[in-house]
Amino acid sequence: MWASTLLWPFRIIAAQDAPAPYLQVPSQRQLEWQEQELYAFLHFGPNTFTGEEWGRSQSLPDICNPTDLDTDQWAKILAEAGMKGMILTAKHHDGMCLWNTSTTAYKIGNGSWAKQREQSSLDADIVRMAAGSAKKYGIKFGVYLSPWDIHRDPAMPKPGLEGTMYDEPQIFGDSSPGDYNVLYVQQLTELVTMTLADGTHIDIFEVWLDGASGSDTVQTFDWTGFRDAIRQHQPGAVMWGHQGPDARWVGNEDGASRPTNWHTLSRTQDDPHYAGEALERGVRDGRYWTPAESDARIRDGWFYHAGEPSKSGATLMEMYLKTVGRSVNLLLDVPPDARGLIPDTDVANLRDFTRLRNATLGRNLVTPEHSTFSSNVRAGNNNKYGPCKIIDGRQDTYWTMDDGEMTGWVEVDLGNVYCVDGFIVQEHIALGQRVGGYGIDATVDAGTYRAVVNNGTSIGHKRIDLLDKAVKTSRIRLRITQANAVPLIQSLQVLGSRNCTTK
Ligand code: FUL
């Protein structure tokens, strides 16, 4: 009897101790991927040399003849631009493989550029070279392997290859002889088991399985088999597809998403495809954790074409705010030119973009020493769930309230009057996405609060709000106005300047 009396209050505290996960939660690989936020796409292959975007598999491997290919330059430029990784087109729709595959003769390795390099004992496997450079400069590496393969598609005539060793069996399509899925899994397996020249394992953080096709040939893809091949050899790699399984398309290629963004969907790759709007927003409380990624371009084309304008740092910054600032990873295409180098204009624009990002977002006024307050603290346990957790700079802590408290507020005293012009808020998504409404207030004259961010909706991994005009203030309050479970707020950054010049 006395034992249960003693246990009873203890059990209440235990029940309040850790919030239960809310519906779907990210896998470890998805959590790590979400934190990468900004990384590069590199489209390189025959199209770089022919001026096409969707080459028809008519060029021979000799077409790929970069005069100064330097994958170290790619990785160095991208690392300096704060990009966390790069994803290379190992095979685009035209079917030409950039690595030394055994699955087809249609590979750069059979061209004169590769043969000359090999004669000089230089590596000619562009995928392996790029992976080595990524490692050297401390960024992650990923591959794009187009499921649609014009080289194998009977509906795509290829007179340019007739009578050559590149005229290979047309096995793409459910009614074609042969099984294209087997070939695709072989290609995937070669890529995910590839090692560097010195034999070291290559870690792949993302595999991009493009959903595009420009042919009437019906080919049912073996998504499960593709996923198994990736999981077996690269358990940490996120498999990107139109709607998953690990990360989804954001529904457009403009470097933008809607202000509301949910990290879940309710369909898999085998189900009918969602259209743009559903992909852009996601599905609240959906059945699968499938966060969005925005693939966008620094130039007009995915491949380099001379004369195309390159986007300015300011335009790239706008894209960043409409993607990363709305919990969507930004995959920015920066295509190497026919020399095999990232062009100077793009390098300059990337530098500008980095400068702007740092100048805007690298001005957090809050340090862990500031005072914080909140409407409620879970089980009164300040040490574990108190408001100070939103400014401790840690990813494994958060402010939260008692179960059942869906709305509430948390406040930071800046200790002085500063000019504030932006906020970065993060939910602790490791335990699910919960918040559907928030606002941010700043104290103005005589310490009264005025709303400076109104009608915020989802937060998720990260929400950036910049103000049109800075506000002179000494206290900031984040209000959670709607949540489907007790909200978990991981961090609040208050952006601005200590030297207030605003009138
Ligand atoms: C699309 C492709 O058709 C484009 O060529 C490009 O690779 C882009 C990233 O995906 O679906």
Domain range summary for the chain, segments of one domain joined by +: 36-361, 371-497
- Position 502 confidence tier, pLDDT thresholds 50, 70, 90: very low
pLDDT for residue 4 is more than 80: no
Ligand 1 nearest atom to the CA of residue 333, by list position? 9
Let me know: does 218 contact 174? Beta carbons within 8 Å. Answer: yes
Cβ(154)–Cβ(172) below 8 Å: yes
Question: What is the spatial distance between Cα 95 and Cα 28, in angstroms, rounded to a whole number?
Answer: 33
Atom in ligand 1 nearest the alpha carbon of residue 210: 11
Mean pLDDT along residues 421-449:
96
Structure confidence by residue, pLDDT tens digits, 173-197: 999 999 999 999 999 999 999 999 8
Mean pLDDT, residues 428-443: 98
Q: Decide: 210 in ligand 1 pocket, CB within 6 A.
A: yes
- Would you tell me which CATH number, out of the four given (3.30.1300.30, 3.30.565.10, 2.40.110.10, 2.60.120.260), belongs to the domain 371-497? 2.60.120.260
Task: Domain 36-361: give its CATH superfamily.
Answer: Glycosidases (3.20.20.80)
Give the predicted TM-score (pTM) of the model. 0.96
Output the pLDDT for position 501: 64
Output the pLDDT for position 446.
Answer: 78
CB atoms within 10 A of CB 185: 18
User: Is residue 5 over pLDDT 60?
Assistant: no
Could you give the C-alpha distances from 238 to 26, 33, 142, 227, 289, in angstroms and in order?
11, 7, 9, 10, 12
Could you tell me which residue, 499 or 125, shows the higher pLDDT? 125
pLDDT of amino acid 288: 98
Atom of ligand 1 nearest to the CA of 89: 7
| 440 vs 410: CA distance, rounded Å | 10
Query: How far does the chain reach from its first CA to its final CA, in angstroms?
Result: 69
**Residue 8 binned pLDDT confidence (cut-offs 50, 70, 90):** very low
**Predicted confidence (pLDDT) per residue in 220-263, tens digit:** 999 999 999 999 999 999 999 999 999 999 999 999 999 999 99
Mutate to test the pocket of ligand 1, among 210, 213, 303, 334 (most ligand atoms within 8 A of CB): 210
Residue nearest to atom 10 of ligand 1 (CA): 210
Q: How confident is the model at residue 445 (pLDDT cuts 50, 70, 90)?
A: confident
Average pLDDT over the chain, rounded to whole?
95
